[in-house]
Chains A and B, each alone.
Chain A
């Protein structure tokens, strides 16, 4: 009971509160804050009300005394979708963090990923921004860890799931989902029999945080608790680069996929068994 009372949900926090909760007390400083009203130039002409921060919060500060920039996506605005402005905020922040490192400042990055991926109202500019984000993660990762957190409740999809796959470390909770394609889109493209987007237990069993962690597609599985997530992120930031980047293990994954019987439809347990061992 004491345990329950002491827990503070991370998932229930908005993007700005999440970023604040991770940074050392008193160090939070937001860049391009909502009062500067840098908004999407594309939404209003399509009848969508824009938001003053375009759904992305960029904050600098420190974690355990280390210089950090956090990019937090607000899942409550347009499903956490990335348009031109929000995408450029994330890409630009990561680019500056890499520049910092080239001038001797060891800035690290944390990405709080609650996103459906590209914002379809800004389609190609969202996609281009996500390519920039991928480029910037790979660049920064040469110097410092980039830690991704998928806490829930939106999950992490589309091009940003690829960004999650590029992170040095990925932290997930039970509320998290991680996948390339949103369930609705798979059902639309491949049919109900392939993927029933309304069957929530089925979706979670394949793409939920627990399954991803048990399949070695995520590095840490944590409770929805502010303190635990803060401590986990802090420890990973201090750990330096991983022994081997998951996205660089082509030989391992090609060998495992070669062993799979792909003629039958897949079960979650098959994935766990196939990807176990030789933890990245």
Chain B
């Protein structure tokens, strides 16, 4: 519910965008003095696809996000896009695989990336889970990633149970290992050490933001928008815990 709470709080007074799946909340509003589009994926107990009823990013959500972002691009005003991220996972199901959920998520990533290249500042605000394929489709193409500082805010490639099964470990072994290897950890501080976040913020009530929380986060979003100077993702490189990513790029350039 965090995603919906933050969407409602930040987009108070904004104009809802219609014609999208019910699992998407999209509205055109104002941040500072700037027209922006807010986008969130939320739970929808009546979702036609049963495996996508708890806020997962599935077929309708992937294609719907693409549509919501494309419409913003078509406006031609390069308005910033604010992706409010609280996505527990992609949808896992037979219908999803059969109908090409990978293509739906590609559409969402495609639209966000094109928006960024077209000069829209794209900002992702992490208020809950930002998991795997769901995050790749909704948030990870942003110029700037901002995370609220809270144990419930986490970025990861796979849930613990599945990760344990695939790597042939027990959940306990996985947790012990994750604690000592920063890219494997589930907490937001370890994630921050990879250099991928532009900012982390503390708020007083993450589940139900207070007016002060909303002001604080809005201010941070405004600063992030102003900070965007380049359309690429180079701002994420440079952390010690991500040194190999820079080293590889340097070698490729030398040998190119």
A166 touches B106 (CB 8 A): yes
Q: Residue-by-residue, is A165-181 near B (CB-CB < 8 Å gives 1, otherwise 0)?
A: 11000000000001111
Residue B117 at the chain A interface, CB threshold 8 Å: yes
A84 and B181 CA atoms in complex are apart in Å by 13
Cross-chain contact A92 with B133 (CB below 8 angstroms): no
Which of A2-10, A12-20, A226-234, A248-256 lies at the interface with chain B? A248-256
Which one of A41, A182, A186, A247 lies within 8 Å of B66 (CB-CB)?
Answer: A247
Q: What chain B residues lie within 8 Å of A188 (beta carbons)?
A: 161-162, 165
Contacts A118-B132, A207-B97 given; does A165 touch B105 at CB 8 Å: yes
Kindly state whether residue A58 has any CB partner on chain B within 8 Å.
Answer: yes
CB contact between A32 and one of B113, B155, B252 (< 8 Å): that residue: B252
Query: In the complex, are the beta carbons of B113 and A134 less than 8 A apart?
Result: yes
Known pairs A158-B133, A159-B133, A166-B110; A195 contacts B94 (CB<8 A): yes
B214 close to A (CB within 8 Å): no
In the complex, identify which listed stretch (B27-35, B135-143, B203-211) lies at the interface while the others stay far away. Answer: B135-143
Q: Judging by beta carbons under 8 Å apart, are B252 and A31 in contact?
A: yes
The reply to whether A162 and B93 form a contact with Cβ atoms under 8 Å apart is: no
The interface residues of chain A lying within 8 Å CB-to-CB of B64 are: 250, 254
Query: Do A262 and B95 touch across chains, with their CB atoms under 8 A apart?
Result: yes
Judge if A120 is at the interface, Cβ distance under 8 Å.
yes
**Contact between B256 and A31 (Cβ–Cβ < 8 Å)?**
yes
Contact flag A250-B67 (CB < 8 Å), given A38-B251, A126-B157, A180-B90: yes
Chain B nearest CB from A123 CB (Å) reads 4
Q: How large is the interface on A (under 10, 10 to 19, 20 to 34, 35 or more residues)?
A: 35 or more
Identify whether the interface residues of A are mostly helix, strand, loop, or mixed.
helix
A185 B162 Cβ-Cβ under 8 A:
yes
Residue B229 CB within 8 A of the other chain: no
From residue A257, how far is it (CB to closest CB) to chain B in Å? 6
Question: Residue A76 at the B interface, CB < 8 A?
Answer: no
Contacts known (A32-B248, A134-B136); A217 close to B184, Cβ less than 8 A: no
B244 CB–A CB distance under 8 Å: yes
What separation, in Å, do the CA atoms of A212 and B101 have in the docked complex? 12
Q: In the complex, A253 Cα to B110 Cα: how many Å?
A: 15
Q: CB distance B137 to A127 under 8 Å?
A: no
Give the complex CA separation of A182 and B90 in angstroms. 12
Within 8 A of B (CB), among A229-280: 245-251, 253-254, 257, 260, 262-263, 265-266, 268, 270-271, 274-275
Interface status of A88 (Cβ within 8 A of chain B):
yes
B204-242 CB mask vs A (1 if < 8 Å, else 0) is 000000000000000000000000000011001000001
- Interface SS, B side: helix
- CB of A135 within 8 A of CB of B141, answer yes
CA distance A154 to B66 in the complex (A): 29
How long is the Cα–Cα vector from A206 to B256 in the complex, in angstroms? 40
Min CB distance, B195 to chain A, in Å?
A: 9
The count of A-to-B residue pairs whose CB atoms sit within 8 angstroms is 266
Which chain B positions have C-beta within 8 A of A212?
100
Neighbour of A88 across the interface among B97, B103, B182, B245, CB < 8 A? B245
Measured in the bound complex, the distance between the Cα atoms of B194 and A127 in whole Å is 12
Task: Compute how far the CA of A217 lies from the CA of B180 in the bound complex, rounded to whole angstroms.
Answer: 41
A78 to chain B, nearest CB (A): 10
Q: Is A265 touching B94 in the complex (CB atoms < 8 A)?
A: yes
Q: Do the beta carbons of B137 and A215 come within 8 Å of each other?
A: no
- Check B158 against A118 for contact (C-beta < 8 Å): yes
Chain B proximity of A214: nearest CB distance (Å): 12
> Whole-angstrom distance between the alpha carbons of A120 and B135 in the complex?
16
Q: Taking CB as reference atom, which chain B residue is nearest A130?
A: B136
Q: Does A49 contact B (CB under 8 A)?
A: no
Contact of A127 among B48, B117, B135, B245 (CB under 8 A): B135
Query: Are B67 and A251 within 8 A (Cβ)?
Result: yes
| CB pair B158 A185 closer than 8 Å | yes
The closest CB in chain B to the CB of A165 belongs to: B106
Does chain B have a CB within 8 A of A190? Answer: yes
Give the docked Cα–Cα distance between A135 and B232 (Å).
8
Given contacts A159-B133, A184-B165, contact A92 B252 (CB under 8 A): yes
Does A95 count as interface, using CB distance less than 8 angstroms?
yes
Contact partner, B98, options A93, A128, A162, A268, Cβ 8 Å: A268
- CB-CB < 8 A to A60: which residues of B? 256
Interface residues of A in 122-168 (CB under 8 A from B): 122-132, 134-135, 138-139, 142, 158-159, 161-166
CB-CB under 8 A for A247 and B110, given A181-B92, A185-B162, A265-B95? yes
Please name 5 pairs of A and B residues whose Cβ atoms are closer than 8 Å in the assembled complex, sorted by A: A124-B196, A180-B105, A250-B70, A266-B98, A271-B98
